């Protein structure tokens, strides 16, 4: 029963994290979209949100596919960021949930909302356009960019998993030095 409670707490914690990050992403994208006056910049914002989702998906996939031995060797030689990379691999389940599920789903949802806002803007500000056609094309575009980008990202992550996680470990080491807080405990399964 204690194991069930841990998964329940973890699930509820991730749901809360998703809710808070969704509010933040949605609010910020709404502010930026409100200040954007040209269609090109609105599409650029959409692409940035999709790219963020793709990058986090790559990180989550790489954490699950990375080899721990080369990272342990680097950590033993005190290479900057290797210790953090080992922690990422040891906590691959949580890294994957946060990166793939939380961030990936948030970016997909916010990307869809931005797509709807772009369609609404096109319908109200320009010549008479077919609502169904415009909505369908925008939905297809957002889905294609998201899925296609994630497919490319997963291919890269599979081939370069250990190096990607090492680089992310270096970024985390820098953040930990800056904030004076460790991201992960030394717990882990792998």
Written in H, E and C, the secondary structure of 148-175 is HHHHHHHHHHHHCHHHHHHHHHHHHHHH
User: Residue 112 in contact with residue 120, Cβ under 8 Å?
Assistant: no
Give the confidence band of 1 by pLDDT, cuts at 50, 70, 90. low
Average pLDDT for residues 55-71, to the nearest whole number? Answer: 96
Q: What residues make up the domain containing 47?
A: 2-179
Question: Tens of pLDDT along 137-188?
Answer: 999 999 999 999 999 999 999 999 999 999 999 999 999 999 998 877 655 4
Number of domains composing the chain: 1
User: Per the domain annotation, does 189 fall within a domain?
Assistant: no
**Residue 6, pLDDT above cutoff 90:** no
Cα 146 from Cα 104, distance rounded (Å): 9
Instruction: Quote the pLDDT of residue 122.
Output: 83
- Identify whether 88 is part of a domain: yes
Over residues 73-126, the pLDDT tens digits come to 999 999 999 999 999 999 999 999 999 988 988 898 889 888 988 888 888 876
Checking if the pLDDT of 58 tops 90, the result is yes
Quick one: tokens of 128?
A: 């008479």
- Asked if residue 185 is part of any domain, the answer here is no
- Tell me, yes or no, whether 61 lies in a domain: yes
- Count the alpha carbons within 13 Å of 43 in the hemisphere toward its beta carbon: 8
């Amino acid at each position: 029963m204690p194991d069930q409670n841990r998964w329940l707490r973890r699930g509820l914690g991730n749901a809360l994290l998703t809710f808070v990050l969704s509010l933040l992403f949605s609010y910020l994208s709404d502010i930026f979209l409100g200040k954007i006056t040209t269609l090109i910049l609105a599409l650029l914002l959409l692409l940035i949100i999709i790219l963020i989702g793709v990058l986090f998906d790559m990180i989550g996939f790489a954490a699950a596919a990375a080899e721990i031995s080369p990272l342990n060797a680097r950590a033993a030689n005190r290479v900057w960021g290797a210790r953090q990379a080992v922690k990422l691999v040891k906590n691959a389940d949580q890294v994957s949930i946060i990166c793939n599920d939380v961030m990936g789903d948030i970016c997909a949802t916010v990307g869809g909302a931005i797509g709807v806002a772009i369609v609404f803007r096109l319908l109200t500000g320009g010549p008479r356009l077919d609502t169904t056609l415009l909505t369908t094309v925008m939905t297809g575009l957002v889905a294609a960019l998201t899925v296609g980008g994630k497919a490319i990202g997963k291919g890269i992550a599979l081939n370069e998993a250990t190096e990607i996680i090492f680089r992310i470990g270096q970024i985390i080491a820098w953040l930990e030095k800056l904030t004076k807080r460790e991201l992960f405990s030394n717990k882990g399964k792998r």
